[in-house]
């Protein structure tokens, strides 16, 4: 190599490295808090990270596991995280119970168009319909979304009084399998598979999904800190656009998407988490309601009804104001939101 060639090569390398550093520095950092552990549905967020969709949109996104929707809401409210994933009812509750909080997070995109909550019982209990729950012993952690919203399910189906037993999340399905409780509440795609892991056959479980019994609550939404929304609106728009692109890939090929979850948590059961992801897609992401309203979007009338139901069921300090918990102005164009797979026949 001549001296001239060497100098040219060195200069080119320096320029490339400099451009790479400049690009890395120009990426907007976004700290994102999940609602739960790295399980199947986390693929929705880990896929656009792994495929570089967020980076291509000018974002440096870090995704952390969570320990419940309530925690995700408070961490985004505190500014520890810029954005997060949480149950809309938990967000509503935070707003209504903290009217003077300076940074109440706002929902910017619907991901679970229906609540994944359901009541589950073993067939041998004789429970086959909501009315059969009257007088029964039910179990769930005190913060469980299905338990919190049970008064709405109870009212919609004229169910008599029930008694509750509280436990830590890992014990819920064990106690049902052992017969310590007659029924549990939980996310269908979580509890059903957990019961199976404890030796209960799927055909021996009765599932009463809230959406099929008159409870049209929205489920999980993407939330953002209002300060972040105000200061970096383009970053929020870019995030939702890249997320939608990743979500389309996940729904088209759930098996491939689970590999990105495995990269974050090497001990997951790939087959189990693939099934969990598919259950989530079929039951709450690509549901009939989601197809009617459009992915990511919501119906204002349904939002208002939910706000009223949550205010009553959760006994909030003030009434939930539906106008302040939702801001759809950051959503991508309709064409970008056309991500749902073809309906199953």
Each as own residue / partner, the long-range contacts of residues 318-326 (CB below 8 Å, 24 or more positions apart, any chain) are: 318/96, 318/97, 318/99, 319/96, 320/92, 320/93, 320/95, 320/96, 321/95, 321/96, 324/95, 324/104, 324/106, 325/88, 325/91, 325/92, 325/95, 325/106, 325/107, 326/106, 326/107, 326/298
Q: For the residues 9-28, what does the mean pLDDT come to?
A: 58
pLDDT category at 345 given cuts 50, 70, 90 is confident
pLDDT recorded at residue 308: 96
pLDDT recorded at residue 15: 52
pLDDT(21) > 50: no
Q: For the residues 102-109, what does the mean pLDDT come to?
A: 96
- Sorted by where each begins, the domain ranges of the chain are 28-114+218-330, 117-213
Domains 28-114+218-330 and 117-213 alike in fold: yes
Q: How far apart are CA 302 and CA 325, in angstroms?
A: 13
Q: For the residues 41-56, what does the mean pLDDT come to?
A: 98
In SS3 terms, 96-135 reads as: HHCCCCCCCCEEEEECCCCCCEEEEEEHHHCCCCHHHHCC
Q: For the residues 4-32, what does the mean pLDDT come to?
A: 63
Q: For the residues 44-70, what does the mean pLDDT come to?
A: 97
Q: For the residues 152-172, what does the mean pLDDT come to?
A: 96
Q: Is the domain covering 28-114+218-330 a CATH 3.40.640.10 domain?
A: no
Give the rounded percent of residues in the chain with a pLDDT score beyond 70: 93
Supply 306's token pair: 């939910």
pLDDT recorded at residue 22: 44
pLDDT(9) > 60: no
CATH topology of domain 117-213: D-Maltodextrin-Binding Protein; domain 2 (3.40.190)
Q: How far apart are CA 333 and CA 142, in angstroms?
A: 39
pLDDT(18) > 80: no
């Amino acid at each position: 190599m001549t001296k001239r060639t060497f100098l040219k090569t060195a200069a080119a390398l320096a320029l490339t490295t400099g451009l790479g550093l400049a690009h890395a520095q120009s990426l907007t950092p976004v700290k994102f808090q999940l609602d739960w552990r790295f399980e199947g549905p986390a693929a929705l967020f880990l896929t656009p990270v792994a495929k570089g969709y967020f980076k291509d949109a000018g974002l440096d996104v870090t995704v952390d596991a969570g320990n419940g929707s309530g925690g995700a809401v408070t961490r985004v409210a505190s500014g520890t995280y810029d954005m997060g994933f949480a149950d809309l009812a938990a967000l509503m509750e935070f707003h209504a119970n903290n009217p003077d909080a300076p940074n109440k997070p706002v929902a910017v995109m619907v991901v679970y168009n229906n609540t994944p909550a359901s009541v589950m019982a073993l067939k041998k209990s004789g429970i086959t319909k909501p009315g059969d729950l009257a007088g029964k012993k039910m179990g769930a952690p005190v913060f469980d979304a299905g338990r919190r919203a049970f008064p709405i399910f109870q009212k919609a189906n004229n169910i008599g009084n029930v008694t509750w037993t509280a436990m830590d999340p890992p014990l819920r399905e064990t106690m049902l399998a052992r017969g310590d409780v007659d029924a549990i509440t939980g996310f269908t795609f979580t509890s059903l598979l957990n019961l199976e892991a404890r030796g209960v056959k799927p055909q021996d479980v009765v599932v009463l999904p809230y959406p099929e019994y008159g409870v049209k609550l929205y489920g999980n939404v993407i939330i953002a800190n209002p300060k972040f929304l105000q200061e970096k609106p383009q970053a929020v728009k870019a995030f939702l656009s890249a997320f939608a692109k990743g979500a389309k890939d996940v729904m088209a090929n759930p098996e491939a998407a689970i590999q990105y979850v495995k990269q974050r948590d090497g001990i997951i059961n790939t087959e189990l988490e693939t099934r969990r992801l598919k259950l989530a897609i079929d039951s709450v992401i690509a549901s009939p309601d989601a197809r009617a309203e459009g992915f990511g979007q919501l119906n204002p009338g349904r939002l208002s009804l939910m706000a009223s139901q949550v205010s009553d069921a959760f006994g909030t300090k003030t009434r939930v104001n539906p106008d302040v918990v939702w801001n759809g102005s950051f959503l991508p164009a309709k064409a970008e939101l056309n991500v749902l797979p073809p309906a199953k026949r």
